[in-house]
Chains A and B, each alone.
Chain A
Amino acid sequence: MDTFLQQIVSGLATGGIYASLALALVMIYQATDVVNFAQGEMAMFSTYLAWSLLNAGVPYWIAFFSTLAIAFVGGLLIERTIIRPMENAPILSIVIVCIGLLVIFNSLAGWIYSYVIQSFPSPFPRKPLKIGNIVFGLYDIGIIGITLVLLVLLYLFFRYTSLGLAMRAAAQNPVSSRLVGIRVSWMLALGWGLAAMIGAVAGMMIAPIVFLEPNMMGGVMIYAFAAATLGGFNSPMGAVIGGILVGITENLAGTYIPFIGTDLKLTVALLVILIVLLVKPTGLFGRTRAGKMWEMKRTPQIPEFAGVGVPSVHSYWKIIGLLGVLAVAVLLPFVVSNYRLFQFTLAYVYAIALLGLNILTGYNGQISLGHGAFYALGAYTTAILIERGEMAYGWTIPIASFICLITGFLFGIPALRLEGLYLSLATFALALSIPQILKYFESWTGGVQGIILSKPEVPFGLPLNPDQWLYFLVLGILVISFGIGWNLLRGRVGRAIIAIRDHPIAAETLGIHNALYKSLTFGVSAMYTGTAGALGALVVQFVAPDSFNEFLSISFLVGVVVGGLSSISGALFGAFFIQFVPTYAQNISKAAPWAIYGIFLIAFMYVMPTGIAGFLQKVRGRLGRFRRK
């Protein structure tokens, strides 16, 4: 019993931190409809600023409040300068900009402050306080206290001040808000400022526990997302309760469920959330469906191959162009180095994965932040079949595809219950738990060590080296996958899945079986990405849990959006972006390559809010109109 209470008490303390970060997330979401993926890194950066002040000899509380002020102004400025220009861009482009901010802050912190772990002072004494047999850390009580104070202040602000009321109004109904004289865009900026400030509080509270380093918020943010999802993304109170519940669940599960230990703590916490979402799809305290804008209707549809059907000079040129590109692709292996070739092979692999994600997210409007999981599934299927099953690698690819098709389809069924934002967060939970799960089933997966594969042999005595053979194998599968995808998407099936995205109710009345189509789309999408995973394992000749972390999934989303949603060629552009731009950034600055990558990302989204394919479409449209004049 004492252990039980003790675990609850410690759960409360960590829960308090999750709660305050979740609160920050919910606030930006409520004020702006944007889920700020950079929240954690902004908090980390603010904490470093506080640390600088403390090092300069500033007393704790002065440093504390100065940091809050700086964070507030910083959040405000970020909204004004970086988010504001994207106001009318599709919501996913804004999400990508946030991801860009995330890598920039992370990389900048590493560059300025180095990755050496620093200690950060705590404002509360470390002394334990014993009541009965239960130990309360004074520090823990301090954290809970601060979270509560924050919550009460926010509640009073939103409930009773006219500024708070105006902020709520602006988020709900911007048009009517203008009609009562509210400067809506400033309310959004204010929302960012406040959230940055709350994040800074959380950062300074958690730094003494996890120590200060640029990646300190990674793990915490995951729980904060979980907390916000659990509580419901439009309920500040829910965020706080969600945070505390997550903290307690995490502690109790780690202590009482023997096979979990600390290894699967995260997975269990995420599982709990998935279950809650399936029972109550808007979170425990969420009211209505979350995120009108997360339903993707803002994304302009890019009609691909608009000229097809009417044989015109236009499509004639298009075929010649395609053949030309193909010819270059075939010649490539004989002119570039093996390392370059490896990079191109991998880019093609990504292109297949991105096409899969694009079918789901672009065409069908279901946002997945967890496609890395299917990629991992495909990769491990191939690796295990080859290593443990001694199967010929050629056979493992269709098997991996099939397994992913089925898994994707099955995952698609519960996913039907989740709308927009919640679906993306549920899939994100999947992405997050993959490395832990892979490590857990060590006897199959080789645990942390992973599985090393040998280079596939060149069949039929072809005059190629293994790298060239792999290149052609991947290229062949790429062409076939794109061919199938193109046929699928431009026909009846394609129209149906687009109709479901844009007008779900109308689609249903037209006799389209929405649920079946949506889960099938999920399956097909997973199949593509899983096939890519299988190929990826062969190309890299190595699988290990940490190559399939959440950044892979995020990278895929980046690729799809940068390449162009609802566009087949976009998958290819996106793949080249995620394969080559990071290397290129590395060449520009060795010290902070990811900052450069983040800047690229943001710049790309500024210039091409609808992705590369969307941009080219627009240019082509302009040229066409110009020629006709």
Chain B
Amino acid sequence: MATLLEVENLESFYGQTKVLRGISFRVEKGSITTILGANGAGKTTTLRAVCGMVRTSGKILLDGHRIDKKATEDIVRLGVGHVPEGRGTFVNLTVEENLRLGGYIRKEKKPMMEDLNKMYQYFPVLGERRGQLAGTLSGGEQQMLAIARALMLRPRLLLLDEPSLGLAPRIVQEIFRIVRKINQEEGVSVLLVEQNASIALDLADQAFLLETGRVVLSGPSAIFREDDSIRRSYLGY
């Protein structure tokens, strides 16, 4: 399998504080990779770094091209869809406007409108509420909207930051089912950050574990799932 995202010796800073201390990992084309780790380990920061939202040093390559010095909007234009922590929907715009914005950078508007309908099929709730302001949606609906908005971009790489946070288990399952479907049917590679390790490992092909800004373990997710000592000491289930 070819590599889509390659991160080498990545460091990242907020002001003077170093949060990532030289991490390296890969995301293969068409795969799902998950980042595990406790609160404050640097998972969100890793996703932000890939998107050029924080100051970094080290190398980030997308499909073999350096992106680590590029502006966020240019990285997005290369096909990186980011569903940020806290969802980041445009609360004062309607659901449909949010989705249209998702496809903002696409030149051809006709296939984009087709995708819009596809999103309404994936997430029928959004279709029912297309004229409603995004701020009036429930938490789960907003999460669906955030994911759908990122998909409107037709991303090659989808970054998901804790999509299950604060949602009912039934909705979490629904969201993960759709993520798997998108991955299988459209070949979108996914880099997933998740607190709920068991559900993330079920979905992912590869996994790595962050601890205070360092990668302490990485490998096929099956290894994480099956090794009792790893599970007990790092993942807590």
Chain A: residues with CB nearer than 8 A to chain B?
162, 165-166, 168-169, 172-173, 175-184
Q: Which residues of B contact A181 (CB under 8 A)?
A: 73, 76-77, 104-105, 153
Identify the closest chain A residue to B76 (Cβ).
Answer: A181
Complex partner residue of B72 from A162, A172, A178, CB under 8 angstroms? A178
B88 at the interface (CB under 8 A from A): yes
Bitwise interface map of B from 70 to 95 toward A, beta carbon under 8 Å scored 1, else 0: 01110011000010100011111100
A178, B53: Cα distance in complex, Å: 9
A177, B71: Cα distance in complex, Å: 13
Q: Which residues of B contact A178 (CB under 8 A)?
A: 53, 71-73, 76
Contact of A180 with B102 in the complex, beta carbons under 8 Å: yes
Contact of B72 with A179 in the complex, beta carbons under 8 Å: yes
Contact of B93 with A172 in the complex, beta carbons under 8 Å: yes
A177, B90: Cα distance in complex, Å: 9
| Smallest CB separation, A540 vs chain B (Å) | 49
Q: Which residues of A contact B100 (CB under 8 A)?
A: 162, 165
Q: Which residues of B contact A168 (CB under 8 A)?
A: 93
A178, B90: Cα distance in complex, Å: 12
Q: Which residues of A contact B71 (CB under 8 A)?
A: 178
Find residues 143-157 in chain B having any chain A CB closer than 8 Å to their own CB: 149-150, 153
Q: Which 10 A-B pairs have the closest CB atoms?
A: A181-B105, A176-B88, A181-B76, A178-B72, A181-B77, A178-B73, A180-B101, A179-B82, A181-B73, A180-B104
Contacts known (A176-B84, A176-B88, A180-B149); A165 close to B101, Cβ less than 8 A: yes
A83, B76: Cα distance in complex, Å: 26
Contact of B90 with A173 in the complex, beta carbons under 8 Å: yes
Q: Which residues of B contact A173 (CB under 8 A)?
A: 88, 90-91
Chain B: residues with CB nearer than 8 A to chain A?
51, 53, 71-73, 76-77, 82, 84, 88-93, 97, 100-102, 104-105, 149-150, 153
Complex partner residue of B73 from A165, A169, A172, A183, CB under 8 angstroms? A183
Sample of 13 more A-B contacts, CB < 8 Å, known A176-B90, A179-B72, A182-B73: A162-B100, A165-B97, A168-B93, A172-B92, A175-B53, A178-B72, A178-B76, A179-B51, A179-B88, A180-B76, A181-B76, A182-B104, A183-B73
Contacts known (A178-B73, A182-B104); A169 close to B90, Cβ less than 8 A: yes
A541, B102: Cα distance in complex, Å: 65
Identify which of B53, B73, B89 gathers the most chain A CB atoms within 10 Å of its CB: B73
Contact of A176 with B89 in the complex, beta carbons under 8 Å: yes
Q: Which residues of B contact A169 (CB under 8 A)?
A: 90, 93, 101
A183, B84: Cα distance in complex, Å: 18
| Smallest CB separation, B108 vs chain A (Å) | 12
Identify the closest chain B residue to A171 (Cβ).
Answer: B92
A177, B73: Cα distance in complex, Å: 8
Identify which of A162, A165, A172, A176 gathers the most chain B CB atoms within 10 Å of its CB: A176
Q: Could you list some 19 contacts between A and B, CB below 8 A? A: A165-B97, A165-B100, A172-B92, A173-B88, A173-B91, A175-B84, A176-B84, A177-B101, A178-B72, A178-B76, A179-B76, A179-B150, A180-B101, A180-B105, A181-B76, A181-B77, A182-B104, A183-B73, A184-B73
| Smallest CB separation, A312 vs chain B (Å) | 25
